[in-house]
A and B are shown apart, each in its own frame.
Chain A
């Protein structure tokens, strides 16, 4: 009884203490190792100062938390901060009355905010055509190429000279297959890695209007001869068993960790999982490219998520959000996060700090993602930001599967992606005209 009473008193005291501070609700989609990381960030921020308390809440996967936040917004109790995946960026940007641009939040709170400290590809992705940074870059990833070194050794391939171009990848795959490997190459996030990243990596447009960054009237052009050549190439590899399709989204990643597949193109955020669970030696290499394409390799495209500030909150809550973002912008905090998760260091300062600490030398391959991103971007490679993107990704999945199954030619499938995707882009433009 006595114990119960003390517990009650303690709980009451705790809730009183919480009321004295301004609470900042932060909805996110980070699980397992990354979930602990998010909680630690909030804990450290809360310990550093007394005025605000950031409360991280896991709200399901990226699409689930976005749906939940929209429902909450319509009911008038949205969170202060919402983590949104890159695919939702165009949707968030178009919803002008629902969000407050990060630049405005920081300026209103009197904090210094300089978008030029960010890695160019990251900054331009989250910046509106008028130069205003819309969301706070948090966990950015990019596409990289993982290689199982043990499988390479077994196949008699040189692990000091990894395949850098697509023709070399095909040769390596053939050797792996000859050595008895059932799945030489597989692909995670096929639309993201093989169409979107592939385009910027080869300095080729996937959509007009600088891939949609310049406005909502962008249209897809991802059926160029280069795109057709690449998808045809992969289709042929699928036919001969050099490339084995393992499903949509990131389902293919499991077959790399288990050792079933020897090479995979997928997110740099996959690094932590492989480092922890793979029972073989592996390395992270840059995405392969076609050596005869002018300007290749350029830079890869951004993925991951950013933090959006929701509209309609009290002024002191916005001050709290600004203080929290200022804490997150700290190069030391960012560098620690980068080392811990494999997500990109989003500012140049945190990249320098990580490099100076010798982290990249000690963990070969971890700088691949950064090197692919810090290059100078061109007008064709700043990022891809399109409306109705979730549906367009699904169309990419549907059509590419037809190629892997041998039911459609690469040209037919890509033409169909462009046609069906453009209908969705037109609709998005119409639906968001009034905002």
Chain B
């Protein structure tokens, strides 16, 4: 029996697709095309004089040594954010799943940070760790640790990674909890009867069954680290000290929205787009092979 729905008319499927296609076209492809176009132009802030610049914006970018350095910074930042974001939330989800009393309470608490705006997250962590007024900075100083995110690049990096991970923790947590709950209890019970301890049960049953969720979150977290973190950086470190926390997307935001250099900013976002497309392709081609659906 033929199960697939087939349309007899040739225009009906296109008509049904049209609303979605229009939305994607207007809100995704049109702005993306605009950005690409702008990246080949140089214009004053008000757009009253627009000039074709060809590849000049791109040439300027790759002649800028600090821009090339910021690739390294971005790679390190997104690696840490994705790694800690995923492993920490898996850890929390595992224990939230095992809790028998007050489950709802713990889950609500863990989901909260997601409602916080990135800039606010940055400020919250800055207040905790700022050299002059931060509570935790005060403890660190009392413990004899010379904590100084204003002049020490590693400290500043740690600060923005913590804020970015904390902000994304809830999202990851939600997916892991849902993933863990969809694993049949009978499997785990059977393993327990066979004498497998909690550690063994996790590594041999739960973690492999979670692999689709983990893979999905890996893609999402990398995209998050690349695109959604400029608010945190702007609020916590302004990309400093020096350029030590100036990741690619922060420079896009700063040059475009604050410094009004639209051509340069558009060229950077085009570069960023290419990187993320490449990373996603790599993830789907190589990492996905390890995923069991």
Contacts and interface: CB of A to CB of B under 8 A. Distances in A.
Contacts of B66: 398, 420
A432 interface: yes
A401 B45 contact: no
B260 A390 contact: yes
A329 B43 CA distance: 35
B122 interface: no
> In the complex, which of the residues B44, B63, B242 has the most CB atoms of chain A within 10 Å of its own CB atom?
B44
Q: Is the interface of B mostly helix, strand, loop or mixed?
A: loop
Contacts of B257: 63, 67
Contacts of A248: 238, 240
Nearest to A238: B151
Contact of A66 (B132, B254, B260): B260
Nearest to B152: A405
Contact of B46 (A63, A98, A397, A420): A98
B240 A398 contact: yes
Interface string B236-276: 00111111000000000011011111011000000000000
Given A401-B242, A431-B263, A95 B44 contact: yes
Contacts of B49: 97, 431-435
Given A404-B151, A431-B263, A91 B44 contact: yes
B252 to A, nearest CB: 13
A388 B261 contact: yes
Contacts of B258: 63, 67, 390
What is the size category of the interface that chain B forms with chain A? 35 or more
A379 B46 CA distance: 31
Contacts of B150: 245-247, 401
B51 interface: yes
Contacts of A430: 42, 51, 53
Contacts of B263: 431
B242 A423 contact: no
Interface in A238-269: 245-249, 254-255, 258, 260
Contacts of A245: 150-151
Contacts of B48: 95-98, 435
Interface string A415-435: 000001001000100111111
B60 interface: yes
Contacts, number: 106
B39 to A, nearest CB: 13
Contacts of B132: 246, 254-255, 258, 260
A19 interface: no
A388 B238 CA distance: 18
A191 B70 CA distance: 23
A292 B230 CA distance: 45
A391 interface: yes
B64 interface: yes
A427 B51 CA distance: 12
A405 B242 contact: yes
Nearest to B238: A248
A255 to B, nearest CB: 5
Interface string B33-62: 000000000111111111101000000100
A397 B238 contact: yes
A50 interface: no
A54 B254 CA distance: 32
Interface string B215-242: 0000000000000000000000011111
Contacts of A290: none
A254 to B, nearest CB: 7
A407 B45 contact: no
Contacts of A391: 254-255, 259, 261
Contacts of B63: 423
A74 interface: yes
Contacts of A63: 257-258
B60 A423 contact: yes
A141 B47 CA distance: 30
Contacts of A435: 44, 48-49
Nearest to B254: A394
> In the complex, which of the residues B48, B53, B60, B263 has the most CB atoms of chain A within 10 Å of its own CB atom?
B48
B180 to A, nearest CB: 43
> In the complex, which of the residues B46, B50, B132, B264 has the most CB atoms of chain A within 10 Å of its own CB atom?
B46
Contacts of B241: 398, 401-402, 405
A28 B152 CA distance: 36
A407 B242 contact: yes
Contacts of A260: 132
Contacts of A407: 242
A94 interface: yes
B291 to A, nearest CB: 42
B127 to A, nearest CB: 12
Contacts of A96: 48
A73 interface: yes
Interface in B175-219: none
Contacts of B47: 70, 74
Nearest to A424: B261
Nearest to A419: B65
A70 B46 contact: yes
B151 A401 contact: yes
A433 B51 contact: yes
Nearest to B246: A398
B44 A388 contact: no
B67 to A, nearest CB: 11
Interface of B: 42-51, 53, 60, 63-64, 66, 131-133, 150-153, 238-243, 254-255, 257-261, 263-264
Given A247-B150, A398-B240, 17 more contacts: A66-B260, A67-B257, A67-B258, A91-B44, A95-B44, A248-B238, A255-B132, A394-B239, A394-B254, A398-B66, A402-B242, A420-B66, A427-B60, A431-B43, A431-B263, A435-B44, A435-B48
Those 6 A-B pairs whose CB atoms lie nearest each other, nearest first: A434-B49, A98-B46, A97-B48, A431-B42, A435-B49, A405-B151
